[in-house]
Amino acid sequence: MRVTREKAAENRQAILIAAARLFRERGLSGVGVDALTEAAGLTHGSLYSQFGSKERLAAEAFDHALRTSAVRMGDAVTLEDYIARYLSTDHRERRGDGCVMAALACEIPLHPGPIRHSFTGAVRAVMKRIAGLLPGRRASEDDALAVVATMVGALVLARAVDDPELSDRILAAARTRLAH
């Protein structure tokens, strides 16, 4: 039975959405093709016909996650607003639809090629977004990278500790430091 172009596009979108969420929740190594196809409600054949491999799917899922994050954060008009939303308890708890960099940064060096390239693109895109929010005309990409690294590192640590009070303190300390 032949799948229409529209249905193939729907299937592709369903797989991307499911993969972006599952990879952020469980990591690249923690998600198999079975889990991906089950979450999308599709078959292995659908996944492989759309993406060719789990690695290509992961790279495209990163891009999808970055686009959805950019849309969600797109109305942040000041750096303070962006930082407050990024370093929030809500974002800490929403790993499956939160920042792809914070969710997967430690795992990326283990994956070559398209996955790492896509991740690098995500870092550059967020750096440019932050650079555009930095006050003054003298803000540099290095300043933006320092902000991004601080935000991502703080979110990773806040998610990793098992003490809720310490987790909240990590987020608050990073917000305060970045405000200066």
Domains of the chain and any CATH numbers: 55-179 (1.10.357.10)
Please determine, for residue 86, whether its predicted confidence score (pLDDT) is greater than 70: yes
**59-80 residue pLDDT tens:** 889 889 988 988 889 899 999 9
Q: What is the pTM of this model?
A: 0.86
> Could you tell me the two tokens for 13?
């979108």
Q: Report the alpha-carbon distance of residue 133 to residue 129 in Å, rounded.
A: 7
Q: Report the alpha-carbon distance of residue 116 to residue 109 in Å, rounded.
A: 7
pLDDT at 114: 84
Contact status, residue 153 vs residue 96, Cβ threshold 8 Å? no
Percent of the chain at pLDDT exceeding 70: 97
Please determine, for residue 20, whether its predicted confidence score (pLDDT) is greater than 90: yes
What is Dmax (Cα atoms) for the chain?
Answer: 61
